[in-house]
Amino acid sequence: MSSLRGADQTLGAVVGHLVESSPFTADQIAAAVLAGIDAGDELILPDPMARAAYEQKLRDRPAYDGQLRRQAARLDELDRGPTG
């Protein structure tokens, strides 16, 4: 996270929280990605949550899009702060 760049502090905080709360280490994700590359995979989904999100996107695109919209709205609320 020390190399994260960008002006959106709210997004940075959310990404930081996701990274810090992840049950997977950077080394585990890197190993899964390298294994996928070695296997010739065109799409590498290194953890169960990523696979579940991708499956939902394929199976039920409206639900997937709705979830992304809800997440974006929460980020927008965080960005505006409690006073709006």
Q: What pLDDT, in 10s, does the model give residues 44-78?
A: 998 888 899 999 999 999 999 998 888 888 877 77
Q: Is residue 4 in some structural domain? A: no
For residue 9 the two structure tokens come to 């502090």
For the whole model, what pTM was predicted?
0.59
d(CA 51, CA 36): 13
More confident residue, 57 or 18: 57
Q: Is residue 72 in some structural domain? A: yes
Q: Which domain holds residue 33?
A: 9-80
Position 60, amino acid: D
Nearest CA among 83, 77, 70, 84 for reference residue 11:
77
d(CA 60, CA 64): 6
Q: Is residue 2 in some structural domain? A: no
pLDDT tens column, 23-45: 888 899 999 999 999 999 999 99
Q: What per-residue confidence (pLDDT) applies to 1?
A: 65
Q: Is residue 15 in some structural domain? A: yes
How many structural domains is the chain composed of? 1
- Give start and end residues of each alpha helix (H) in 1-84: 9-21, 26-39, 48-59, 61-80
